[in-house]
Amino acid sequence: MNEMRHEADTEQLIPSIFFLLKKWESITWNREAGTMNWDQLEGKWKQYKGEVREKWGKLTDDDLHIIAGRREQLIGRLQERYGIAKEVAAREADEFVKALTAEEEVEQRANRAKAARQG
């Protein structure tokens, strides 16, 4: 009887462990890779400002000036302008920056490969 209860407990525990691992992975990404991506955005804010405006057209010039590539500022302005929850704004902002920096990495690799073929 106890052995059957132990098996049932184990079957319930396994999905919980996977859920926790996924959660940890997302937290870790936000701390490690996410920081690097936001640092890139802040450093190249003038270059990316147009793409931010294209994605979120309700942001004003003043908003963009205040945001200046900073995550918390962007999240706050998205909440204000679009009336969305902080978690939703954070997820959208992080996904946008992740995609933006991934595009740049692909472009940089292509440029390096092109330079290697020519040089």
Provide the residue ranges of all domains of the chain, joining segments of one domain with +: 32-118
Q: How far apart are CA 17 and CA 7, in angstroms?
A: 15
* Model confidence pLDDT, tens digit, residues 73-101: 999 999 999 999 999 999 999 999 988 88
Nearest to 76 by CA among 27, 88, 98: 88
Q: Is 118 helix (H, G, I), strand (E, B) or coil?
A: helix
Choose the most confident range, by mean pLDDT, from 9-13, 44-48, 81-85: 81-85
CA–CA separation, 119 vs 110, rounded Å? Answer: 14
Q: Is the pLDDT of residue 31 over 50?
A: no
Angle 5-8-11 from CA coordinates, rounded to 5°: 155
Bigger pLDDT: 25 vs 92 = 92
CA distance 59 to 117: 42
pTM of the model as a whole: 0.63
Could you please state the CATH topology (level 3) that the domain comprising 32-118 is classified under.
Protein Yjbj; Chain: A; (1.10.1470)
Structure tokens at 2: 């106890």
pLDDT in the model for residue 11: 63
Distance between CA atoms of 66 and 77, rounded to whole angstroms?
Answer: 9
